[in-house]
Structures are given as C-alpha cells and as structure tokens.
Amino acid sequence: MPGRVESKVAIVVGAGQTPGMTIGNGRATAVLLAREGASVVVADRDLNSAEETASMIADEGGEATVYETDATSEESLRAMVAEAVSRYGGLDILHNNVGASVGAGDASPMEITEEGFDRIVALNLKSHWLASRQAIPAMRRGGGGSIVNISSMAARHAYPFLGYKATKTALLALTEQLASQHAIDNIRVNAILPGAMNTPMAIEPRVAAGADRADLIARRNSRIPLGGKMGTGWDVGYAALFLHSDEARFISGIALHVDGAEHISDSVSGQ
C-alpha cells in the first residue's frame, strides 16, 4: 500500500537534534515522513546531526538528502528550497522545527538581554516566516502544499522566559496569517503545540545546568494526566505526519495541542 505522503517532497528545517538519550521532534518527523513515502531534505545548521538523521532514514530504505542551512538567513533558505526543487522536481511539504530558549539566552522580562531577545526572535519566529516565504512559490507551482510550524504549549500557559513565550505565541498568528492568505493557493498552514516532551532539547540543557535527570523526568511526568508520562518526539512526529498528509486536506489554520491533556488539567488551572 502507498504511504500517507507517498511521492511528496518534504523539507524538515531543524531535522537534527540536541545530543541526548531520546529522539527530538524534528528528527522523528523526518523519519516518519520518509517511512510514509516522502523524499526528505534533512536541513539543519548542525551538518553532523543532520547526517545522523539521514542515515536513520537510509537504513530503513527511505530517501533523504542533507542540507546545511542557517534558518535565520533568507539566502540560505532560498538555496535550500532551490536544492530541494532541483533534486526532486518540486516541493510539497515544509516543516519548521527550529526553536530555542535558555540555550539561546532566554530569561525573564527583566533579565533577558536585548541581544538574547533578538536572537530568540530570529530563531523561533523570523526563521519560520523566511522559510515559508521561500517555500510558497515552489508550492504554488506544484498546485499546493502543507506547512507546519512547531509552536509550544508555552503559548497557552504561564511560562518563566520571555523570549520563548512571546515567539511561540506570535508563531500562532503567523500560522493563521499564512493559512488565510494562501488558502487560495491550496497551501495549508497549521501549527503544533507540544506540551512537556521527553526530548533532548527539553531535558539535556536542564541536566547540564545541574538538575538530577531522574527527578526532572519524574516532575515533568507528574504534570501529565494522560498516562502520567511526558510525550516523545514520535508523538509530535505523528501529529505532523497527519497534518502534512492528504487526510488533513480540509484542515488549515489550526493550533493542535499535543500535550497529554495537560491544558485541561487541574494542575494547570490551579484548582
């Protein structure tokens, strides 16, 4: 049977990951898209990490090519899209997975520096707009496409760090704007809001800063009503696979919560 994204061409920006014991959202998405028949451009600023992702895809018999890109540079993203179109003949899927918080200098409103704020805006928000702006003309030429932006449940909850909260919230507005203005082009644009995830990006910086790994994981697990455990990169990846597939052909402009029902739990509401 054909895969759910059979013969589609996909770019996953941020398809590498922070080193760690688990799989990241971008890597899981790239692997799943390839498993379901897409040719995947594995794009990341860390070429070695991108090559690891591509090797995982190749080991399963999938099709992937690696592209080293700076997601904050429009010229780099323009070249990335051109490479995808040249190699595979078009572009159907853009998956924007770039994001950072503490590691990029995030902090509370009174502690974050101007340089840190600007850096996080460029990584978490501007990069998604720039990549979409480069991808949309190629999608138009092919008759349509799908864009998914990775936001965060930090957009819905209180969050201690200004840059991440502000940019992940703004990303929802960007998603709606693109979805509204490019529906006529048959381009669907949606956002995924991961909750507490057991991914390297979520866990490893905190452990490096001195947190006990087992205690950190236990505390994060305790927040999740559904099964009592954090989600994984695969949970985000499967949500993305659905949104990028033709099964979601009539869905655009949504913000999909992938958070184990945390947003409706008593622990969030404070009751």
Kindly state the average pLDDT of the residues 163-180: 97
Model pLDDT, residue 240: 98
- What residue segments make up the domains of the chain, in order of their start? 9-200+232-255
pLDDT tens-place string over residues 84-106: 999 999 999 999 999 988 778 88
Asked whether the predicted pLDDT for residue 23 surpasses 90, the reply is yes
Kindly state the average pLDDT of the residues 142-163: 96
Measured in Å, how far apart are the chain's first and last C-alpha atoms?
Answer: 48
In whole angstroms, give the CA distance from residue 236 to residue 30. 11
Q: What number does CATH give the domain 9-200+232-255?
A: 3.40.50.720
> Which amino acid, residue 20?
G
pLDDT tens-place string over residues 52-93: 999 999 999 999 999 999 999 999 999 999 999 999 999 999
Asked whether the predicted pLDDT for residue 269 surpasses 50, the reply is no
Asked whether the predicted pLDDT for residue 271 surpasses 90, the reply is no
Enumerate the active-site residues.
Answer: 164
Nearest to 73 by CA among 32, 109, 39, 45: 45
Nearest to 153 by CA among 99, 106, 111, 217: 99
In this prediction, residue 268 has a pLDDT band, given cuts at 50, 70 and 90, of very low
- What's this model's pTM, rounded to 2 decimal places? 0.95
Asked whether the predicted pLDDT for residue 270 surpasses 60, the reply is no
Q: How many CA atoms lie within 13 A of 52 on its CB side?
A: 18
In this prediction, residue 266 has a pLDDT band, given cuts at 50, 70 and 90, of low
